[in-house]
């Protein structure tokens, strides 16, 4: 699990650690720079050209140190630095002197009255203009540089945060006065991620986020932060074999109205797909046939449509039997619905039944007779930005401008738990706060919120079995919903996915998360500038001795079928040349020529995909030998790596050169 840290808190943590341990700012800078260099290396080639946009603060020093490390690794790499005017910080001044050893391959141009004219196009850019300390909008030549960079089509690696982005809110600094920010392909942040990398425009601005460990021990960092689930975290415990439907609870869904039966069916289906033992839909009698036809695994409780007191008396026994309630999806805002909600809210305050209030229930809450009651912590409010604005008596722009503050204000005003839905959802519980960064643009479609309400209801109903705290339950539900949306989007496309597709995908989400949260990779240890060869062995000396003596020799493994392609001569038709952007993931820039082998069908019944290794310019066709196979562990999409005949490569090189795409997948690499 990851935890965010506010930019000002990060500065305090660094200062405490340096004062207590004697670690210098230069040491932290070198550790940070090593992570930046690692992130930029896959976009570069020896003999290419690196451009560094450099400010005079420590962010600029990180960029200078990274450029020095990259030139040390690549003897043919040349670097151009566009330097903002002003006096450098003490650490950045030292980094300028350390570049003296590379003056033959270094060009420095002032970034003052306008952008320098470059005759040779760079291969990759480091954005080291400004870090998280920026407190004013980009202006002048810095703004001009950011706009040029955003229109260049070049891969951009941002240092700590894209220049101009607010590390708290995820919007450009000074957004209300026309603020702008650099759009990065990858962002390398340090120690802990800043919340602005995930909120607002952060996900579209930051690209893939890498969290680099710069050696700050936990003992010097006791600051709270927003929690994020990430790859390797468990969503829910596995089901026991000896179990029954009662273990996973009864969900009562007070949803649906004439013309909105679909919302009821989606909510109920999502609750069932998320693991609820039983789901009962309480809805107007006239929509029961539709709900039962679309969701036959749920039972229905027909409610009288004209008499609120009769409807309440019909609903009450079901409420008393339920383990969780979902109310509001497609419920309508007419008088029958309002009268029911006016009775329901006081009952929930007295009985503390776990409940989700969504959609129409939230809108009715604002104007109902129960307005002003403080909800217990058993009730979750799940507004989107517009609904939250109505609940808070403000406008949507203000809510969106600071989602965390708005979510906290919801809990402060209404009590309960706050789930403020957006591209990244803010979760405020009684015992913690978190973010959910899982999801897809395809989920911006009617019915997605109804599905989330059903998932939340299911997990609330099974809370005793799952044993989750309130914030952990909210995080698990939102991640389950978002991961299902991602899977459905990949199957149906960002435009074509429906909420019903998301429901179908819910049952396929694994218990342990296999995806990085919003493309976030956490480095496990600080990078070092040098390596001791003795640390490269994966075996102990005793294990090595046993193998030499022939002891414990493993049986020969059966060759993997993917290896059969190795050594084969093929012709690659390149349809995504070096330097082009991915047609769907625009933050992905191809660092190799990429295409297909037209006479070989892959397992997905498409032509076999292939990377071209060892060619430093865009080509249309390439003939060569399959020197490696990247076997993706989803069992479908093997990728061939093709190079000139006789080429030998390593797994490290293959992974580094294909990381612009393959970083998003778990894989094995087979070599000739």
The verdict on 251 and 111 lying in the same domain is: no
**Is 237 within the bounds of a domain?**
no
Which pLDDT band holds residue 529 (cuts at 50, 70, 90)? very low
Percent of the chain beyond pLDDT 70? 92
**Is 537 within the bounds of a domain?**
no
**Is 407 within the bounds of a domain?**
no
The verdict on 214 and 348 lying in the same domain is: no
Q: Which residues pair with 435 in a beta bridge?
A: 426
**Is 630 within the bounds of a domain?**
yes
The verdict on 220 and 99 lying in the same domain is: yes
The verdict on 501 and 619 lying in the same domain is: no
The verdict on 221 and 294 lying in the same domain is: no
Helix (H, G, I), strand (E, B) or coil at 234: strand
Q: How far is CA 622 from the centre of its chain?
A: 35
The verdict on 202 and 272 lying in the same domain is: no
Question: How many domains in the chain?
Answer: 3
What CATH number does the domain containing 660 carry? 3.90.80.10
**Is 403 within the bounds of a domain?**
no
What CATH number does the domain containing 19 carry? 3.40.50.10260
**Is 16 within the bounds of a domain?**
yes
The verdict on 56 and 146 lying in the same domain is: yes
Which pLDDT band holds residue 51 (cuts at 50, 70, 90)? very high
The verdict on 199 and 298 lying in the same domain is: no
For the whole prediction, is pTM greater than 0.85? no
Number of CB atoms found within 10 A of residue 545's CB:
11
Predicted local distance difference test score (pLDDT) of residue 527: 37
User: Which two tokens mark 532?
Assistant: 């001791």
The verdict on 261 and 322 lying in the same domain is: yes
d(CA 257, CA 642): 59
Q: Tens digit of pLDDT for each residue in 184-223?
A: 999 999 999 999 999 999 999 999 999 999 999 888 888 8
Task: Let me know if 337 is exposed, middle or buried by CB neighbors in 10 A (0-12, 13-18, 19+).
Answer: buried
Residue range 434-461: average pLDDT? 96
The verdict on 251 and 222 lying in the same domain is: no
Range of the domain at 595: 561-671
Q: What is the DSSP string of 359-414?
A: THHHHHHHHSTTTTPPEEEEEEE--BHHHHHHHHTS-HHHHHHTHHHHHHHHHHHH
What CATH number does the domain containing 371 carry? 3.40.1190.20
d(CA 448, CA 501): 10
**Is 532 within the bounds of a domain?**
no
Q: How far is CA 355 from CA 249, 265, 380, in A?
A: 13, 18, 6
Predicted local distance difference test score (pLDDT) of residue 636: 60
Helix (H, G, I), strand (E, B) or coil at 316: helix
The verdict on 216 and 336 lying in the same domain is: no
Domain limit, last residue, from 463, 492, 507:
507
Domain limit, last residue, from 201, 228, 255:
228
**Is 341 within the bounds of a domain?**
yes
The verdict on 164 and 288 lying in the same domain is: no
């Amino acid at each position: 699990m990851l935890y965010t840290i506010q930019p000002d808190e990060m500065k305090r943590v660094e200062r405490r650690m340096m004062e207590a341990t004697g670690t210098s700012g230069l040491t932290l800078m070198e550790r940070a720079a090593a992570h930046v260099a690692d992130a930029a290396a896959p976009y570069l080639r020896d003999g290419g050209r690196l451009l560094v946009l450099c400010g005079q603060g420590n962010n600029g020093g990180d960029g200078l140190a990274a450029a020095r490390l990259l030139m040390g690794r690549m003897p043919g790499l040349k670097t151009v630095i566009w330097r903002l005017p002003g006096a450098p910080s003490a650490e950045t001044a030292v980094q300028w002197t350390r570049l003296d050893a590379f003056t033959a391959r270094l060009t420095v141009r002032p970034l003052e009255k306008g952008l320098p004219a470059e005759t040779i196009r760079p291969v990759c850019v480091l954005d080291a203009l400004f870090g998280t300390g920026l407190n004013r909008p980009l202006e002048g030549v810095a703004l001009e540089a950011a706009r040029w960079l955003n229109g260049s089509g070049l891969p951009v690696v941002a240092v700590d945060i894209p220049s101009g982005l607010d590390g708290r809110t995820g919007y450009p600094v000074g957004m209300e006065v026309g603020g702008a920010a650099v759009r990065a392909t990858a962002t390398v942040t340090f120690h802990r991620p800043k919340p602005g990398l995930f909120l607002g425009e952060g996900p579209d601005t930051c690209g893939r986020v890498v969290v680099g460990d710069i050696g700050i021990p936990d003992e010097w960092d006791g600051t709270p932060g927003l929690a994020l689930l990430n790859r390797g975290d468990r969503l829910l415990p596995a089901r026991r074999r000896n179990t029954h439907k009662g273990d996973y609870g009864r969900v009562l869904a007070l949803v649906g109205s004439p013309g909105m039966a679909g919302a009821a069916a989606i909510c109920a289906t999502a609750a069932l797909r998320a693991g609820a033992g039983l789901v009962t839909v309480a809805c107007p009698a006239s929509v029961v046939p539709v709900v039962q036809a679309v969701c036959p695994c749920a039972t229905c409780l027909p409610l009288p449509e004209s008499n609120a007191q009769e409807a309440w008396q019909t609903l009450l026994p079901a409420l008393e039997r339920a383990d969780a309630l979902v109310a509001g999806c497609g419920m309508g805002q007419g008088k029958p619905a309002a009268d029911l909600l006016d009775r329901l809210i006081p009952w929930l305050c007295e009985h503390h039944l776990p409940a989700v209030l969504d959609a129409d229930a939230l809108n009715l809450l604002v104007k109902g007779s129960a307005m002003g009651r403080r909800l217990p912590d058993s009730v979750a409010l799940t507004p989107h930005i517009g609904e939250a604005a109505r609940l808070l008596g403000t406008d949507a722009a203000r809510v969106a401008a600071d989602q965390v503050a708005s979510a906290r204000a919801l809990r402060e005003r209404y009590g309960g738990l706050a789930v403020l839905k957006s591209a990244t959802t803010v979760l405020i519980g009684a015992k913690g706060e978190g973010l959910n960064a899982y999801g897809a643009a395809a989920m911006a479609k009617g019915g997605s919120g109804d599905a989330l309400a059903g998932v939340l209801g299911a997990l609330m109903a099974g809370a005793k079995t799952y044993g989750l705290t309130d914030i952990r339950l909210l995080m698990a539900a939102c991640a389950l919903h978002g991961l299902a949306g991602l899977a459905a989007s990949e199957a149906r496309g960002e435009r074509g996915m429906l909420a019903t597709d998301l429901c179908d995908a819910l049952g396929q989400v694994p218990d342990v998360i296999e995806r990085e949260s919003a493309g976030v990779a956490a480095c496990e240890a600080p990078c070092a500038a040098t390596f001791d060869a003795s640390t490269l062995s994966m075996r102990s000396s005793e294990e090595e001795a046993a193998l030499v003596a022939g002891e414990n020799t493993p049986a020969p493994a059966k060759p993997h079928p993917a290896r059969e392609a190795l050594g084969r001569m093929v012709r690659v038709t390149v349809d995504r040349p070096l330097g082009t952007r991915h047609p769907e993931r625009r933050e992905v820039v191809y660092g190799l020529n990429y295409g297909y082998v037209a006479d070989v069908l892959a397992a997905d019944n498409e032509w076999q995909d292939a990377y071209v290794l060892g060619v430093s310019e865009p080509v249309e066709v390439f003939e060569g030998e399959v020197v490696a196979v990247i076997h993706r562990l989803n069992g479908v999409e093997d990728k061939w790596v093709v190079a000139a005949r006789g080429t030998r490569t390593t797994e490290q090189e293959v992974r580094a050169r294909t990381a612009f795409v393959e970083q998003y997948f778990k894989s094995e690499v087979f070599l000739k």
